[in-house]
Amino acid sequence: MLRIIIINGPNLNLLGRREPEIYGEDTFEDFMIHLKGKFVDSDVELTYFQSNHEGELLDKLHEVGFHYDGIILNAGAYTHTSVALADAISGIETPVIEVHISNVHKRESFRHHSYVSSVAEGIIIGFGLRGYELAVEYFL
């Protein structure tokens, strides 16, 4: 049984309501139901965690980062600001796939740099919620 966790950072709790022209109209809770359904016959356990607080994201990475098989991380705006997040990813053993719903390279220049990318196993950007699905497929 593969253990995979999706960790979403700040403001991603507002998916479905937040700037739907950029992030779509689905809530993440609805998407999780779809995702679990899609992989129901695979030997995988999918968990979801969201926090608006940087320290809570670090705590979660430390908690799962030595015994989970994969972490799918959308750190939201902390992607572009947090050295602490990059250090946490370097310090744990579980591989991290960085996901962004929108194509950050088409957007403001402050979204073009990611502290996460250089410590991530791979990056999936701009495919909407489908990116999380692709990340699960990679780990499988």
| Nearest residue to 50 via CA among 7, 17, 88 | 7
Amino acid at 75: A
CB 50 within 8 A of CB 16: no
Cα 36 off chain centre by: 16
Give yes or no for residue 11 binding ligand DQA (CB under 6 A).
yes
Amino acid at 92: I
Contact string 63-92 vs ligand DQA (x = CB under 6 A): -----------x-xx-x-------------
Determine if 100 is a binding residue for ligand DQA (CB under 6 A): yes
Active site residue 23: yes
13 binds ligand DQA, rule: CB under 6 A: no
Q: Does 129 bind ligand DQA (CB under 6 A)?
A: no
Report yes or no: 68 and 2 within 8 Å, Cβ to Cβ.
Answer: no
Q: Is 53 a catalytic residue?
A: no
Residue 130 marked ligand-binding: no
Q: Could you give the residue numbers annotated as active site?
A: 23, 100
Binding-site residue positions: 74, 80, 87, 101-102, 111
